Amino acid sequence: MNITEKILSSKAGHEVTPGEIIEIPVDLAMSHDGTSPPAIKTFEKVADKVWNPDKIAIIFDHNVPANTIGSAEFQKVCRNFINKQGIKNNYIHGEGICHQVVPEMGLVEPGKVIVGADSHTCTYGAFGAFSTGMGATDLAMVWATGKTWFMVPQAIKMEVIGELNPYIAPKDIILNIIGKIGIAGATYKTAEFCGEIIENMGVEGRATMCNMAIEMGAKNGIMEPNKEVIDYICKRTSKTENELNIVKSDSGAVYEKEMLFDITDMDPQIACPNDVDNVCDISKVEGTAIDQCLIGSCTNGRLSDLKDAYEILKDQKINDNIRLLILPASREIYKQAMNLGYIEAFIDAGAIICNPGCGPCLGGHMGVLSEGEVCISTTNRNFKGRMGDPKSSVYLSNSKVVAASAIEGVIKNPKDLM
């Protein structure tokens, strides 16, 4: 069996098979300020008390601080519900993006089943958990019962080999995979990432890749925990390795498909408007004029992303015609970046430093684009109107490309500046 089948079998109490519909208990249910209010509305029609307030996390990150009366009202509804239900331990306001702070809080472990009213909940597969997004109505029923149903997914084994060159990052690997498989190529499948590159990849790069599994339609992305992941979880949970439920695929595990991706000599990858699978080498779009650069999001707002940007931006100035926005993914990362001198270097370069949160990624908070404007961003989606006006455009890349582009005023290969 593969990792996902093993986790779901353990929860179901019997050996499951792909295509089987099962009802299983949930270890953690997560929502944010955007998706909690509709879930609350449904929940209050079917139940009075949540099944377990300690297994529910509500994170304010999409519109923090509130920027409209509507978002303020949404957050008021959430706070009233949190107080009524006693969801105090896992209520976070303004400390960062849900998919970053939930692992930081020690709520993610291998072998757990985690659901969230946000499509990028698949991020936690980086830690060896079965983790997936769901709608607000389904989440309301989880709040009420502590259970949910799944159809056991088929799995695609995605082996990554080769060597990361200095100009690319895990973001390029996942963009390359999505470009080859397509936005619907893994619909309701498990994307199981493996191979020498994955085995040696750090926690943050793994999170980036699993975060974007949904962009090829996958039900979940997942990886076998390596030593760095295990050490991270032990530190956050105060558990020993022996206390963790580390699940690995059997050597004879059956997959619907097996794919090999060789990243040797790969150039930075760019997802062009208006689909995440519209991917090409940077050489195809280098020189494209831009108006805004964004480094942040649940995909690439981590310390390693800020470090990559710092290495290019230190002692440099951004182009006079460019707005560079930098949003650390969490307060913890923000403080680390300050202590390392990254934030000061970004400010000196002319960047705008924003508070931890989703910001302009969904076109809801800061940095919204106007008609005809172009942004190159480290976020996860570039759909039409995603970051503002329907006639604006978004290109997706790693943080090195964004930093280099901010200096030059056009999409730029960081190789020329490193």
User: CATH no. for residue 388?
Assistant: 3.30.499.10
What is each CA distance from 88 to 20, 29, 55, in whole angstroms?
36, 14, 11
* Residues 251 and 287 placed together within one structural domain of the fold: no
pLDDT at 416 over 90: no
Supply the pLDDT for residue 88.
85
244 lies in some domain: yes
252 lies in some domain: yes
* Residues 128 and 256 placed together within one structural domain of the fold: yes
- Please tell me the number of Cα atoms within 13 Å of 116 on its side-chain side: 29
pLDDT at 364 over 90: no
Residue where one domain finishes, among candidates 261, 281, 301: 261
266 lies in some domain: no
377 lies in some domain: yes
* Residues 283 and 224 placed together within one structural domain of the fold: no
pLDDT at 61 over 90: no
128 lies in some domain: yes
Cβ(279)–Cβ(269) below 8 Å = yes
* Residues 224 and 81 placed together within one structural domain of the fold: yes
- The phi, psi pair for 240, rounded to 5°, reads -90, 165
Number of domains the chain is built from: 2
Interatomic CA distance for residues 408 and 405, integer angstroms: 5
Supply the pLDDT for residue 359.
86
Name the residue type at position 286: E
Judged by phi (left if over 0) then psi (alpha if -120 to 50, else beta), residue 128 lies in: left
pLDDT at 89 over 90: no
* Residues 63 and 160 placed together within one structural domain of the fold: yes
For residue range 160-209, list pLDDT tens digits in order: 999 889 999 999 999 999 999 999 999 999 999 999 999 999 999 999 99
* Residues 195 and 333 placed together within one structural domain of the fold: no
90 lies in some domain: yes
177 lies in some domain: yes
Residue where one domain finishes, among candidates 206, 237, 261: 261
Interatomic CA distance for residues 121 and 98, integer angstroms: 9
* Residues 160 and 195 placed together within one structural domain of the fold: yes
For residue range 106-132, list pLDDT tens digits in order: 999 999 999 999 999 999 999 999 999
Parallel/antiparallel/unpaired status of strands 189-194 and 154-161 = parallel
Supply the pLDDT for residue 164.
87
* Residues 87 and 181 placed together within one structural domain of the fold: yes
Supply the pLDDT for residue 358.
85
Supply the pLDDT for residue 264.
93
* Residues 110 and 232 placed together within one structural domain of the fold: yes
Residue where one domain finishes, among candidates 234, 261, 288: 261
Instruction: Please list the alpha-helical segments (H only) found in 47-126.
Output: 69-85, 98-104
* Residues 65 and 184 placed together within one structural domain of the fold: yes
For residue range 292-311, list pLDDT tens digits in order: 999 999 999 999 999 999 99
The 3-state secondary structure of 108-142, one letter per residue: CCCCCEEEECCHHHHHHHHHCCEEEECCHHHHHHH
Supply the pLDDT for residue 12.
97
Interatomic CA distance for residues 381 and 229, integer angstroms: 26
pLDDT band, very low/low/confident/very high, at 334 (cuts 50, 70, 90): very high
Maximum average pLDDT range among 58-62, 85-89, 289-293: 289-293
Residue with tokens 């970046």: 337
Supply the pLDDT for residue 112.
98
* Residues 295 and 375 placed together within one structural domain of the fold: yes
Domain span including residue 232: 3-261
Cβ(393)–Cβ(374) below 8 Å = yes
pLDDT band, very low/low/confident/very high, at 393 (cuts 50, 70, 90): very high
* Residues 43 and 24 placed together within one structural domain of the fold: yes
For residue range 228-255, list pLDDT tens digits in order: 999 999 999 999 999 999 999 999 999 9
